[in-house]
Structure formats: C-alpha cells, structure tokens
Amino acid sequence: MPCKSCGAVNQSKFTGEMAIHIPGLKNIDKPVVWVFPELIVCLDCGTTEFVVPEAELRQLATGDATAEG
Ligand SMILES: [Zn+2]
C-alpha cells in the first residue's frame, strides 16, 4: 500500500508506545492516555499511521483518561 503522503511504497511496521496528552491548561492535571500501537512508517518521508485501540479512543473522546472501559 503506497504512502498516503508521498506515494512511495517503502513502508515498514514497527511497534511503538505513545503518551497522548489532552491539550489545554485546564487539562494539565489529567493523566496521559497510553497507547501501544503498531506503527506503519514511511521510510521515505516519515509519515506514520497507527490506530488508537477502542478503550483508549473512548478515553480521548470523553477527555477522561481515568475512565474505565
Ligand atoms: Zn511517504
């Protein structure tokens, strides 16, 4: 599958860990949302794709990183 950004067919899969912060000063005390996605990295331009899992997606949607599934 070609890169959506540059069109190159030079992508590799990696695993990653990422702390997603909810922006804004009022959210400064909110915990970060950790995700451990599979990354599809374009080795030509660096564009990276990943999917946030459903549980973490819900946390981002509600803005409450302490919410349970
Ligand atoms: Zn690319």
Query: The dihedral of CA 43, 47, 48, 51: what is its sign?
Result: negative
Question: Which pLDDT value is given to residue 69?
Answer: 47
Question: Which pLDDT value is given to residue 65?
Answer: 53
Ligand 1 centroid to Cα of residue 12, in Å, is 11
Does the model's pTM come out above 0.75? no
Contact 39, 14 (CB under 8 A): yes
Q: How far is CA 23 from the centre of its chain?
A: 14
Contact 49, 40 (CB under 8 A): yes
Count of Cβ atoms closer than 10 Å to residue 42 Cβ: 20
- Stronger pLDDT, 67 or 29, i.e. the higher one: 29
Ligand 1 centroid to Cα of residue 8, in Å, is 5
Ligand 1 centroid to Cα of residue 16, in Å, is 18
Q: Which tens digits make up the pLDDT trace of 8-60?
A: 999 999 999 999 988 888 888 888 999 999 999 999 999 999 999 999 999 88
34, β-bridge pairs: 19
